[in-house]
């Protein structure tokens, strides 16, 4: 499949959204973990919420890992394009 600039742009946006969701769930998990450490009824009741959020975060992480497996260059820190478009463009017009 030929990777067009539009497809690359969509992949990078998708990657960014996944990373944001994973980061947000990680922060929420830390908050819940701190509340559980306090103990009491509230802490005990949060266990199922924690497990549910952890499952959701892990599902998004699996999706991101699959994206990296399919398009390894998305995982790199450089600003090079995913593929050579054949139009002699030095880089993608869409920043990472």
Lowest mean pLDDT among 24-28, 34-38, 64-68: 34-38
- Please report how the helices 5-38 and 47-70 are oriented relative to each other, as an axis angle in degrees rounded to 10: 160
pLDDT band at 18 (very low <50, low <70, confident <90, very high): very high
In this prediction the pTM is: 0.70
Is residue 92 predicted with pLDDT exceeding 60? no
Domain residue limits, the chain: 1-38
Average pLDDT taken over every residue of the chain = 80
Residue with tokens 């998990």: 29
Lowest mean pLDDT among 2-11, 50-59, 72-81, 86-95: 86-95
Locate all alpha helices (DSSP H) within the chain, ordered by sequence: 5-38, 40-45, 47-70
């Amino acid at each position: 499949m030929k990777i067009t600039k539009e497809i690359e742009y969509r992949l990078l946006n998708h990657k960014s959204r996944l990373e944001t969701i994973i980061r947000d769930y990680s922060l929420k998990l830390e908050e819940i973990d701190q509340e559980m450490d306090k103990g009491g009824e509230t802490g005990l009741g949060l266990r199922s919420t924690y497990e549910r959020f952890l499952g959701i975060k892990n599902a998004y992480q699996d999706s991101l890992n699959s994206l990296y497996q399919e398009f390894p260059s998305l995982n790199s820190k450089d600003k090079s394009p995913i593929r050579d478009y054949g139009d002699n463009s030095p880089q993608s017009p869409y920043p990472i």
